Amino acid sequence: MKEGHAVLLSQEFLQRVLDGIEESIVVIDRDYSIICYNNTFTTWLKKPKKKIIGECCYSVIHDQSVRCSPCIVRETFRTGQSFETLHSHDLGGGKKVYHETSSYPLKDANGEVKYAVYMFKDVTERALIENKVRELDKFKKRILDNAGVAINILDKNGNIMNVNRGSAELFGYVEDEVKGEPHEIFYREGDRDLISSAMKEALEKGKFKREVTLIKKNKSEFPADLTLTIVEGDSGEPAAFIEIITDLTQLKKAEEVIKNQLEKLKRLDTIKEDYFYSTSHEFKTPLTTIVSLTKMVLDGKLGEINERQREALNWVYCDSKRLRGSVQKILDIAKIESGKMVYNIEKVKVGEILDEVLETLKIIISSKNLTVTKSVDGNIPEVMADKDRLGVVIENLVGNAIKFTPEGGRMGILASGEGDNVLVEIHDTGVGIPEGDAKKVFEKYYQVKTGGKTDSGGSGLGLVICKRIVEDFGGRIWVESKLGEGSKFKFTLPIKKGKTKS
Amino acid sequence: MGKRVLVVDDEVSVAKTVKFILDAEGFETSVVFSGEDCLKRINSESFDLVLLDIMMPKMNGWQVFEELQKIKPGQKVAFLTVIRYSEAVKEKLRKEGLVDSITKPFENEDLINRVKAITSV
């Protein structure tokens, strides 16, 4: 050793060396008392020097009455080894300090550890930032985990960087198990082409989306909706892929159930319709007999009857006819709604049908003492319609007009050519329809409230049937009405065939 | 003597009702309730008109009509049915030998007028 060096190694010189180090240094004996320290330490401590030497390290550094746990100084004394750790210390009130610490053994000539050199650096600021980043990462993971779908993050080569909880649960892997694996592990052996075309399309268009079959860890297959999107780096180059997978197993099952239910409903519908048609005959036939035979007795064709008998039978006749009409309407609407109404579309003279209807209703018209004005343009062309069904429409409308026009009132029936259509109007001078109900009258079961008990009556189906029939002919029906002044029901019928349904 | 009409309908009440209506108008009406019975009666008797239901069990109206054409060519037959035929179809049926098709339910007057029209020709 050169002479000058001995000077350099003086205690003062060594203290200067220690003071120049930017980490706090404390030398501790086996009683955990501080025997030496550097300036950095006192600067950090902000306390007078004389209270440090001989004091316990934990009381000076951390203001504690007990040793830290864990304590790397203890470990150094115990094992004779060096240790490093990030030590966090709670200051209370949610405040924490973080120390990057290390502990080295100082041995005597016999190799016994007499002292420990404890070095530390306050890294609280850095640690807080790192904590924030970790929290953010955790938060991002929570978002991904709670996304409700399976999400895989792939690198630009298609290797798995991350999977969310949904994906791990769906495929049956542990999250870390698949990291670094190619995402091919989620696909069937034979779907290599699919994978490459998916990646290609995602690269070219930014997105690939298709229904595919994927496999789980246990090799079971399941239907899934797959979306593969690209994530670009700062300079626009492809950096990663996001693979979003929705399990369609339940949806497919539900679809199957719905399909089966629909088929069942269809079968029930057919049964119901068949039943309707067979029973319709059952309803209509006896009523025909009742109406026909009552009429014969009323007409005196089966012998003389007295006035009281005639009056009673007349009620039977009127009501059985009404019942027959109602049954017919219910059957008609069922037929129309099931699409089973068959129309015989042919050229029809509207004027003739108006005459026929008025002829059948003339008794009731005269019994109510109504004045009917009929104005039919002699030159109106024939329309394309089903003669009988058009008769039903007109009978319904004229019947309603009669019903709602008070005794001795006026009614009007008009027919004229209107371009490609013939316009038919039936006017009454009845109670009219409240504003806002003009469209409702063509809805099922609507009935005009007149205040009287049996004034209106009816099945509420007549106008529904009219609307459906007129529209099936390719025409249009509507009503113009003023409360208290009466209603004008109007409908059009096409002259040319084309739009009509037959 | 009144014109002879044979009513064929598996619905007894309908057949009897038609007989009531037509008899009151002076027709001489017979009723049978199946196509088979109709063919038997036609073999031994002659009628001015056969009123034939279409929807009947075993032999339906169309089958009965074809048999009638063979046994008695020219026999006047009219359908009495719930099926509505358009005027165009009725025209075609007339060419095949059917004189009319009356739709059930019918109004008494309508039935009488049409049967009268057919049998008076």
Report the C-alpha dihedral over residues A58, A62, A65, A66, rounded to 10 degrees.
-60
Chain A: residue whose CA lies nearest to B10: A285
State how far the Cα of A112 lies from the Cα of A367, in Å rounded to an integer. 135
Tell me the mean pLDDT in the region A382-387.
Answer: 90
Q: What are the beta bridge partners of residue A102? A: A84, A119
Please check whether residue A224 is in contact with residue A247, taking contact to mean a CB–CB distance below 8 angstroms. Answer: yes
Say if residue A39's pLDDT is above 70.
yes
Minimum distance, in Å, between the CA of residue A407 and any CA atom of chain B = 27
Which residues neighbour A240 within 8 Å (Cβ) at sequence distance 6 or greater?
A153, A154, A155, A156, A161, A230, A231
Strand order in the sheet with A486-494: A371-376, A410-418, A421-427, A486-494, A477-482
Tell me the mean pLDDT in the region A430-445.
Answer: 82
pLDDT of res. A50: 63
**Any chain B CB within 8 A of the CB of A386?**
yes
Determine the 3-state secondary structure of A474 from DSSP: coil
Residue A4: how many other CB atoms lie within 10 Å: 8
Question: DSSP 3-state helix, strand, coil percentages of chain A (rounded to 5)?
Answer: 45, 25, 30
End-to-end CA distance of chain B: 16
State how far the Cα of B117 lies from the Cα of B120, in Å rounded to an integer. 5
Phi, psi angles (nearest 5°) of residue A234: -60, -35
- Of residues B97 and A398, more confidently modeled: A398
Quote the crossing angle between the two packed helices A462-472 and A307-337, to the nearest 10°: 50
| CA dist list (Å): A83 to A18, A29, A80, A96, A104 | 20, 16, 10, 22, 7
CB contact under 8 A, A285 and B89: no
Please check whether residue A282 is in contact with residue B6, taking contact to mean a CB–CB distance below 8 angstroms. Answer: no
pLDDT of res. A45: 82
Long-range contacts of A147-153 (CB under 8 A, 24+ apart): A149/A244, A149/A245, A149/A246, A150/A244, A150/A245, A150/A246, A150/A247, A151/A242, A151/A243, A151/A244, A151/A245, A152/A183, A152/A186, A152/A242, A152/A243, A152/A245, A153/A240, A153/A241, A153/A242, A153/A243
Residue whose tokens read 């009965």? B64
Categorize the per-residue pLDDT at A457 as very low, low, confident or very high, splitting at 50, 70 and 90.
Answer: low
Model confidence pLDDT, tens digit, residues A117-129: 999 998 888 888 9
Q: What is the largest CA-CA distance in chain B?
A: 35
Say if residue A3's pLDDT is above 70.
no
pLDDT of res. A448: 60
- Of residues A423 and B85, more confidently modeled: A423
Q: What's the distance, CA A135 to chain centroid?
A: 33
Say if residue A451's pLDDT is above 70.
no
Tell me the mean pLDDT in the region A55-81.
Answer: 88
Q: What are the beta bridge partners of residue A150? A: A245
Q: What is the largest CA-CA distance in chain A?
A: 164
Least confident of A10-14, A128-132, A445-449, B31-35: A445-449
pLDDT of res. A194: 86
Report the C-alpha dihedral over residues A90, A95, A101, A105, rounded to 10 degrees.
-30
Q: Give the one of A285, A295, A346 whose C-beta lies nearest to B11's C-beta.
A: A285
Please tell me the class of the B4-120 domain: alpha beta
Residue whose tokens read 């404890």? A118
Tell me the mean pLDDT in the region A204-215.
Answer: 91
Model confidence pLDDT, tens digit, residues A314-363: 999 988 988 888 888 888 888 887 777 888 888 899 999 999 999 888 88
Kind and range of the H or E run holding A99: strand A95-107
**Amino acid at residue number A124:** T
Q: What is the pTM of this model?
A: 0.53
State how far the Cα of A448 lies from the Cα of A441, in Å rounded to an integer. 8
Please check whether residue A499 is in contact with residue A386, taking contact to mean a CB–CB distance below 8 angstroms. Answer: no
pLDDT of res. A459: 65
Say if residue A501's pLDDT is above 50.
no
Minimum distance, in Å, between the CA of residue A361 and any CA atom of chain B = 13
CB burial string A195-227: b at 16+ within 10 A, e below: beebbebbeeeeebeeebebbeeeeeebebebb
pLDDT of res. A344: 86
Determine the 3-state secondary structure of A251 from DSSP: helix
Break chain B into its structural domains and give their ranges: 4-120
Kind and range of the H or E run holding A221: strand A221-232
pLDDT of res. B10: 92
Size of interface A-B (CB pairs under 8 A): 55
- Count of CA atoms in the C-beta half-sphere (13 A) of A350: 28
pLDDT of res. A402: 92
Which residues neighbour A107 within 8 Å (Cβ) at sequence distance 6 or greater?
A80, A113, A114
**Amino acid at residue number A108:** D
Q: Give the one of A285, A324, A344 whose C-beta lies nearest to B84's C-beta.
A: A344
pLDDT of res. A8: 58
Q: Tokens for B83?
A: 């099926």
**Any chain B CB within 8 A of the CB of A302?**
yes
Which residues neighbour A287 within 8 Å (Cβ) at sequence distance 6 or greater?
A320, A323, A324, A327, B105
Categorize the per-residue pLDDT at A455 as very low, low, confident or very high, splitting at 50, 70 and 90.
Answer: very low
Say if residue A93's pLDDT is above 50.
yes
Say if residue A4's pLDDT is above 70.
no
pLDDT of res. B36: 94
Say if residue A245's pLDDT is above 50.
yes
A chain contacts of residue B106, beta-carbon cutoff 8 Å: 288, 292
Please check whether residue A187 is in contact with residue A163, taking contact to mean a CB–CB distance below 8 angstroms. Answer: no
Say if residue A453's pLDDT is above 50.
no
Tell me the mean pLDDT in the region A41-63.
Answer: 81
Model confidence pLDDT, tens digit, residues B57-93: 889 999 999 999 899 988 999 999 887 777 777 888 8
Chain A: residue whose CA lies nearest to B11: A285
Say if residue A140's pLDDT is above 80.
yes
Q: What is the mean pLDDT of chain A?
A: 86
Say if residue B110's pLDDT is above 60.
yes
Say if residue A1's pLDDT is above 50.
no
A chain contacts of residue B16, beta-carbon cutoff 8 Å: 289
State how far the Cα of A9 lies from the Cα of A179, in Å rounded to an integer. 55
B chain contacts of residue A285, beta-carbon cutoff 8 Å: 11, 13-14, 104-105
CB contact under 8 A, B105 and A344: no
Say if residue A18's pLDDT is above 90.
no
The burial class, CB within 10 Å (0-12 / 13-18 / 19+), for A490 is middle
pLDDT of res. A103: 94
- ipTM for the complex shown: 0.80
Long-range contacts of A125-134 (CB under 8 A, 24+ apart): A126/A98, A127/A86, A127/A88, A127/A98, A128/A98
State how far the Cα of B63 lies from the Cα of B77, in Å rounded to an integer. 13
Phi, psi angles (nearest 5°) of residue A191: -105, 25
Minimum distance, in Å, between the CA of residue B105 and any CA atom of chain A = 6
Q: Tokens for B92?
A: 């075609």
